[in-house]
Every structure is written in structure tokens, then in C-alpha cells.
Amino acid sequence: MALDSILATRLAPSERDLNPTSDESLVQRARDGDYAAFEVLYERHRTLVFRFAYQMMPRRDDAEDIVQEAFVRAYQNLGRYRDEAKFTTWLLRIVSNLCTDQARMGNRRTALEQQEAAGALDWMTVGDTDDPIGNLEQDRQRDVLRRALNALPVHHRSVLILRDIEEREYVDIAQTLGCTVGGAKLRVLRARRALRDRVAPLLGEE
Amino acid sequence: MTMKPHNDDQLLNCAFGDITPDEAMRIEADAARNAELRERLDSYQNLRAGLRALGDKVPDHQLSNERLRDAILARGLSTTARPISSPRWWQMAWMPIAAAAIAAVVFMAKPNRPVTPSVAIKQGDNLFVVPTIDAPKASEAVAMRVSEDDAIAARNYAAVLGGMPLEGSAPSPRQREAVRPSPTSRRMSEGRTVPSAPMAMIASGGTGLAAAAAPTGPSAAFGSGAPSMDAPARDDVATHPIVLIDSEPDANTGASRATEVGSPSNVIVGG
């Protein structure tokens, strides 16, 4: 199932109701000086962009800052947006570049208080099943996977998030990365291999 | 039926759904008969499920329109009605077009007069001048410093012209080039009925000074006390103002001192 349809079911009704027109026409209106049209685009796609940004740097504050910066840059460079690509693809490309820059600058913090707080909250909440031990094992595996994902180089992480977490189509991934579809498939395969190599010893430690 | 071995990439693609249904069915069938293959395939399918589960753990964001608007305004951008124009080719091309237009105007407005430099030199007690017919003003004088070798080559050139014995060694190619009519002088003489004149060489002591060619001027004059090699040159000098450029700078202005003299009696003329 495409991410857009998944998101459509996850979005709040108020956010879904904000889609009276297509992205392209909203972009055109925003180019013509209609800031309200850009706000509609922002409300429509900020969750998608935030999800990607959060996976790239799992600290909510950082992810929100990235999203905000991405939309500011999108607004600033709206004249450069070419209609051949989807607006979301263009946005994801901006976010991906921002996350890459952030990772290169070494500003990403690894120990995340917020994530730990969320993990502590998970302890107190009811899991998916009635089996508490099963929930603990799920949490452990998820934690292992999260750590392995965060330990990957940013180019591996971004393609895994796009394809295997956000379930983007290869065509979109190729446009986001600025490569061919075949190149995108190859990058995803390499990233999966890298993740597999990292996860295996982490799961085998205990 | 023998089971085909599967590598990890095939299993990864199968687990993540990146192969065709036929291939997936074949791998699943093989995995059903091979416990080790089944285990590997299961581990990759768990990996995929785990990644998908990470997508469910994204917290709600606290992004708002006001926050974005503040960020945009803080960046100096406007949120009021203002068209955001995309860069068009004519918006980027105005600068080279304007530069080309200015260059064309300057080129067409330039007066079409020939440049005929003349030189007058005072080197110690010796005075040298290369007059030209078309350039009586001192501002049009051009001079450049040359070496002693070039001066000797110039003397030899003049000697060849006048049938006099050569001085020193044979001139090098560079020296020959120095006494050869310059392309500029050739260009200047084009369209006229007069022949192209060679570059005039003037020398004194260890260092000489060379003058640019005069299109219709005399051929050459060299050295202290050397006779003028071409009579018409003296005639030209006599009928035109002579400007002497001193090699020493003027104390007040710092520029080379220029003196206009009316009589060529103390001036050795070359060209």
C-alpha cells in the first residue's frame, strides 16, 4: 500500500479535509503570492516529512526543526520547483539533504532523553498482546533495530527509511536521491545488507 | 527436482517483496524443504517486520502554522501576497546582453584614426627622437626599454640597409624580431601607398631605448654621433615639433619629463 494512502488513514480528519486541490495548483498559487496555499501544503505534508525526519534523527525536537527548515527552504525556493517531480518527493529530497548535512556536522546526539522517556512510557503502557514477556521481547528487538539503524551511515539509513519504513515507491526514491530506479534498488539492497550485518551480532549478544 | 541454491541477496529481496511472485513462490517452496533456508528467510522477514514497526513508533509532532510563519518571517521572507517568480532565462541573460551592447556602442563611437606613435628620448647628454608625420603630440609617444643586444641588432639592421659593416655578433632570432617591422606597424601601413617602416632602434651606452615604428617615418638612427641614415627623416623632424622624453622622472610630478624643442640641431633623429 502506498504511503500516501496509509497517511490518509492516519491523518486527523481536520488535516484530511485540507485537501481541496492538488499539490501542483497549490504550489502555483503559492508562487503567485498566496501564502495560505503554502500553508495548506504544509499542513498536508508536514506529517510525512516529520516521520522521515524523525527516523533519520530520532529526537522529536531535532526532527521538528528539520521539518521547519525544510518548509522554509521550500517556500524560499518555490520558484525552482519543477512540476515534473511530485511535491512530496521534492520535499523529501530537501529533508534528506538537511539530515545528511546535520549528520555530517556531527550535531546529532546519540543518547536521546526523549527517546528514553518514550521507552519508559512504553513500559507502562499496554502492549499489542496480552503477553507481557512477549511485549518485552518486542521492545528489545525494536530497540536493537533502532540502534542498528541509527548506527548505519546516513545514506544507508535514508534509503531504508524511505523504502522499508515509509514504503515509498522506487520511482520516488530515485527522484529523491537523484538517481535511476535501478540505482535506487541497488542502494536499498546494499543498505539492507548493511543493516543485516549490524543486527545479527546485536541480536546474538544476548 | 533439485533445489537451486539461493544467495542472501535473493532471500533479502524475497523477504522484502522485491522479486516477482513466481520467484517468491519458488524460494518459499525451497525453504519449505530446507530448514536452514527457512530460518534465514524468516530472519529477514522479521527484519522487515521490525522496520515496519519502527514506523508505528513515531510520536506526534508539535508543528504549527504559526511556528512556520515565524520562521519564514525571521528569515526575512514575506508571507504577504507577493509573486514568487521562477528564474527565467531572460532574467539571467540581461547582464551579458547589456555588456555586449555597451561594448558595441563603445566600439562604434571610437574615432577611426590611425595610431602613429612617435618617440623622443634624452639619455644623458644624448638626445634621440623618432618623429612621425601623423603624431606630433607628446601624448602619443611610446617608448620601451631594450637591452644592449637589441641595440646592436638594430645598428646591424641599419648597417645592412646602408651598406655599412656589421657590428658584434649576428643577431639572434629575438633580435631579428626586434628590428623587424611589427605587426602593428604593418597593419597601420596597410591601405596606404607608403611602405612599412621598421621599428626604430636608438641606443646609448649600456642600455638603449627603442621606439615604436612610424608608418611613414625614417628607417633608423643609432648611437651617439651616428649619422642619420635617412634624409627624409630629418625633413620630417624639421617640419614637426620634437618632444624629448627624459629618462629621469620629474621632481614635481614623478613622471618622465617631456620637453618640446623647436630646432633639431642638437637632436639625433632615427626611425
Give the model confidence (pLDDT) of A140-174 as tens digits: 888 888 888 988 998 999 999 999 998 999 999 99
Residue A47: band (very low, low, confident or very high) from pLDDT cuts 50, 70, 90 = very high
Pairing state of beta strands B200-204 and B242-249? unpaired
Out of B13, B44, B83, closest to residue A33 by CB = B83
Which helix (H) or strand (E) segment holds residue B256: the answer is: strand B256-261
User: What pLDDT, on a 0 to 100 scale, did the predictor assign at position B267?
Assistant: 65
| Partner-chain contact B55 A79, CB within 8 Å | no
| A186 pLDDT higher than 90 | yes
User: What pLDDT, on a 0 to 100 scale, did the predictor assign at position B113?
Assistant: 56
CB A60 within 8 A of CB A51: no
Residue A201: band (very low, low, confident or very high) from pLDDT cuts 50, 70, 90 = confident
Comparing CA positions, the residue from B139, B142, B136, B122 lying closest to residue B242 is B136
Whether the complex's predicted ipTM is more than 0.85 is answered with no
Q: What one-character-per-residue DSSP string does B4-71 give?
A: PP--HHHHHHHHTT-S-HHHHHHHHHHHHH-HHHHHHHHHHHHHHHHHHHHHTTPPPP---HHHHHHH
Report chain B's mean pLDDT, rounded to a whole number: 64
- Contacts of residue A164, defined as CB under 8 A and 6 or more positions apart, other chains included, come to A188, A192, B16, B48, B51, B52
Comparing CA positions, the residue from A68, A74, A72, A69 lying closest to residue A91 is A74
| A188 pLDDT higher than 80 | yes
| Partner-chain contact B50 A189, CB within 8 Å | no
What one-character DSSP code corresponds to residue B139?
Answer: G
A185 touches chain B (CB under 8 A): yes
Task: Give the span between the Cα atoms of A43 and B78, in whole angstroms.
Answer: 19
SS3 A13: helix
B170 touches chain A (CB under 8 A): no
Contact list in B for residue A54 (CB cut-off 8 A) is 58-59, 61
- Contacts of residue B256, defined as CB under 8 A and 6 or more positions apart, other chains included, come to B245, B246, B247, B248, B249, B250
The segment with the largest mean pLDDT, out of A179-188, B2-11, B145-154, is A179-188
Of all residues in chain B, the percent with pLDDT exceeding 90 is: 6
User: What pLDDT, on a 0 to 100 scale, did the predictor assign at position A53?
Assistant: 92
Out of B13, B54, B59, closest to residue A165 by CB = B54
| A187 pLDDT higher than 90 | yes
The segment with the largest mean pLDDT, out of A23-32, A67-76, B61-70, is A67-76
| B133 pLDDT higher than 70 | no
Least confident of B56-65, B79-88, B231-240: B231-240
In a mutational test of the A interface, the residue from B16, B19, B52, B61 whose CB has the highest number of chain A CBs within 10 Å is B61
Higher pLDDT, A98 or B140: A98
Q: Residue B233 is placed in which grid cell?
A: 627623416
A2 touches chain B (CB under 8 A): no
Task: Give the span between the Cα atoms of A71 and A88, in whole angstroms.
Answer: 11
Contact list in A for residue B82 (CB cut-off 8 A) is 33
| Partner-chain contact B87 A80, CB within 8 Å | yes
Comparing CA positions, the residue from B189, B220, B186 lying closest to residue B203 is B220
Report chain A's mean pLDDT, rounded to a whole number: 79
| Partner-chain contact A42 B67, CB within 8 Å | no
Helix axes A87-105, A23-31, angle to 10 degrees: 70
CB B270 within 8 A of CB B230: no
Task: Give the span between the Cα atoms of B184 and B196, in whole angstroms.
Answer: 10
| Partner-chain contact B84 A42, CB within 8 Å | no
Taking the whole predicted model, whether its pTM rises above 0.90 is answered as no
User: What pLDDT, on a 0 to 100 scale, did the predictor assign at position A136?
Assistant: 78
Least confident of A14-18, A69-73, A131-135, B218-222: B218-222
Of all residues in chain A, the percent with pLDDT exceeding 90 is: 35
